[in-house]
Amino acid sequence: MTLGADGAIFAISIGAGLVGALAGVGGGILIVPALTLLFGIDIRLAIGASIVSVIATSSGAAAAYVRDRMTDMRVGMFLELATTTGAVVGALLAAVVAPAFLYVLLGLVLLGSAVMQVLRLGEEMPPEVEPSGLAARLRLASSYPDARLGREVPYAARRVPLGFVLMWGAGVVSGLLGIGSGALKVVAMDGAMRLPMKVSSATSNFMIGVTAAASAGIYLGRGDVDPTLVAPVALGVLAGAMLGARLLPRMANRHVRWVFLPVLVVIGIQTLLRGFGVGS
């Protein structure tokens, strides 16, 4: 790799980290196509680098999100129980289920969620509700300081069982396909549990590092993680994620949705195409 290519990869990675931190997804959607299409890097190594970029996005952004009370740590930990157990089941199923079918299914789910996102485009805040008995027992109701509105915004998770099941599905998908499924996590928290968009994004960011760390060992063991390629990616993504984490608290929830929607559409199309054998 030349110094110029390293510089270009670093710059693209800053963009990936920034978008990832705002949308609550890892930087994989930008990193993998950029590395393979622009730099001709082997898809295996590109995916290895993207797994590392997910962890870098997550930790880099969450350091600020946790401190600024954007991440709901209880929601995150409770749902990580679903994603990690799901991921184990997914890894066990990997030998039995055809990935092509799963990619198509996941692509359709993501694009369907994108339609739901369009319907909520103008919405700044989900309607306020009293926490259900389950949400209260699990303490899935809290508040976050909204720098843009200049006030503390209370929220309570709705449809907790549905959110848990969706997260479990996101975990199964991660285990089966080896992807972070950050987009599904945001969809589950925003769409099903009706948490404020910024809380959904910041909490998804908090979670995706754990999901990716669980599968990173597999990629490392297979030799898919090349430290010389990962160096400019990780440094760029970290810088971008830290920048994004400074922006998110000051953004309106509906503007965060404007960032998330195109990301969701691109991931949905990529996933669908992969199911039909196009691309990676």
Partner 1 sequence: MTGDARRDRLTPDQFRAVVSAVLRTGVVTAAALTTVGFAMSLLVGWEGSLLGATTATSAPTDFSQLLSGLLAMRPISFAQAGLVVLLATPVLRVATSVVGFWLEGDRLYVAITLAVLAILLGSIFLVH
Residue 157 DSSP SS3: coil
Nearer to partner 1, 116 or 222 (CB): 222
Answer yes or no whether residue 217 interacts with partner 1 by CB under 8 A: yes
Stretch that binds partner 1, among 25-33, 37-45, 77-85, 155-163 (CB under 8 A): 77-85
For residue 97 the two structure tokens come to 């289920």
For the chain, give percent helix, strand, coil, nearest 5: 75, 5, 20
DSSP 250: G
Q: What values do phi and psi take at 153, rounded to 5? A: -110, 115
| Residue 15: half-sphere exposure toward Cβ, Cα within 13 Å | 10
DSSP 128: P
Stretch that binds partner 1, among 11-19, 184-192, 196-204, 222-230 (CB under 8 A): 222-230
Stretch that binds partner 1, among 115-123, 147-155, 186-194, 209-217 (CB under 8 A): 209-217
Q: Which of residues 230-269 bind partner 1 (CB under 8 A)?
A: 230-232, 234-235, 238
CA distance 196 to 124: 8
Out of 153, 210, 252, 269, name the contact with partner 1 by CB under 8 A. Answer: 210
Out of 220, 250, 276, 280, name the contact with partner 1 by CB under 8 A. Answer: 220
Answer yes or no whether residue 63 interacts with partner 1 by CB under 8 A: yes
Burial class from Cβ neighbours inside 10 Å (0-12, 13-18, 19+) for residue 212 reads: buried
How far, rounded to the nearest angstrom, does the alpha carbon of residue 265 sit from its chain's CA centroid? 14
CA distance 158 to 131: 7
Nearer to partner 1, 56 or 109 (CB): 56
Answer yes or no whether residue 189 interacts with partner 1 by CB under 8 A: no
Say how many residues touch partner 1, by CB under 8 A.
48
Stretch that binds partner 1, among 113-121, 192-200, 227-235, 261-269 (CB under 8 A): 227-235
CA distance 4 to 24: 30
Answer yes or no whether residue 225 interacts with partner 1 by CB under 8 A: yes
What is the x/- site pattern for partner 1, positions 17-56, by CB under 8 A? -----------------------------------x--xx
Answer yes or no whether residue 120 interacts with partner 1 by CB under 8 A: no
Among 23, 41, 22, residue whose Cα is nearest residue 280: 41
Nearer to partner 1, 84 or 181 (CB): 84
CB atoms within 10 A of CB 94: 14
Residues with Cβ within 8 Å of 77's Cβ and at least 6 positions away in sequence, in order, are: none
CA distance 279 to 260: 22
Out of 8, 11, 15, 74, name the contact with partner 1 by CB under 8 A. Answer: 74
Give the residue carrying structure tokens 């929220």: 155
Closest distance of CB 162 from partner 1, Å? 18
Residues that bind partner 1 (CB under 8 A): 3, 6, 52, 55-56, 58-60, 62-64, 66-67, 69, 73-74, 77-78, 80-81, 84-85, 87-88, 91, 138-139, 209-210, 212-218, 220-221, 223, 225, 227-228, 230-232, 234-235, 238
